[in-house]
Structure 1
């Protein structure tokens, strides 16, 4: 299954970009990052169906890493070919996008800069795929 981060804004050369790249290289599943302008732009075409859309949103569910891994594992086992993770610009997502998403996820109650959220998401995708693979790195607290 392709794990595809689609994010608003350019991350450029930054510590956050280095983290996204570092975790992206560790993910053994397909992994891709697409950047869109802060406003407008065209969503990339779906490479293969079925696809699931996850909007990173402050009103979303608070999932543990293990719960997140279960969602991804279930989708993979159900034949989902691509999971898209949408990160909005500073103003977040509009209501239509939130309503059409298959899942809304929040990184806790705090507000995070979208560039840092991108790095956090890449780390959680790596962690989830590691949990699914039975890697001993992840430990529940």
Structure 2
């Protein structure tokens, strides 16, 4: 089992970075955040394209790619736990992708093996990292029967 969160933007020393990493550090398998950034002032479509190229280049080889997208499925924590079990069963590393402020380019969406939405609400991208890391930890806790998740 191996999980990457490929995210557009640099968290630096922001508190959100420490929170997200704290959840990933609790996992019993390798999990990391890979950050990519496009600093040039570009139009929305060009920015999505350039960020997408960087995201695709950062994906682990042979990864099963789950793109966070507003049109993705919104599973419960229990359902996400089952999905993670299914996805790990493919024997490939998992890579969750968090896009930039303008969303994902077409190439990233085309590469997705699955799409996921954490909420109908719009969240700051740095908080999405924390929320996703926590849900991955929660899903694995459910899977192993740890009392972290209470129904």
> Normalised by the size of structure 1, how large is the TM-score?
0.89
The equivalences for 1:105-116 within 5 A come to: 105-116=116-127
Q: Partners of 1:32 and 1:130 in 2: how far apart? A: 18
The question of 1:104 aligning with 2:115 is answered yes
SS in 2 for 1:29: coil
Give the structure with the larger strand fraction.
Answer: 1
Equivalent position SS for 2:121 = coil
Deviation at 1:77, TM superposition (A): 2.6
Q: Which runs of 4+ in 1 moved over 4 A?
A: none
- Paired position in structure 2 for 1:44: 58
Indicate if the aligned counterparts of 1:28 and 1:129 stay in contact, CA closer than 8 A.
no
Q: What residue number does 2:16 align with?
A: 16
Does the 8 A contact of 2:73 with 2:117 survive in 1?
Answer: yes
Name stretches of at least 5 consecutive residues in structure 2 with no aligned partner. 39-46
Return the structure number with greater helix share. Answer: 2
Aligned-residue CA RMSD (Å): 1.6
Task: Structure 1: give runs of 5+ residues left out of the alignment.
Answer: none
Contact 1:29–1:129 (8 Å) recurs in 2: no
Question: Which structure would you say has the larger Rg?
Answer: 2
Q: Distance in 2 between matches of 1:28 and 1:130?
A: 10
Pairing of 1:1-141 with structure 2 (within 5 A): 1-38=1-38, 39=47, 40=50, 41=54, 43-44=57-58, 46-47=60-61, 49=62, 51-80=63-92, 82-140=93-151
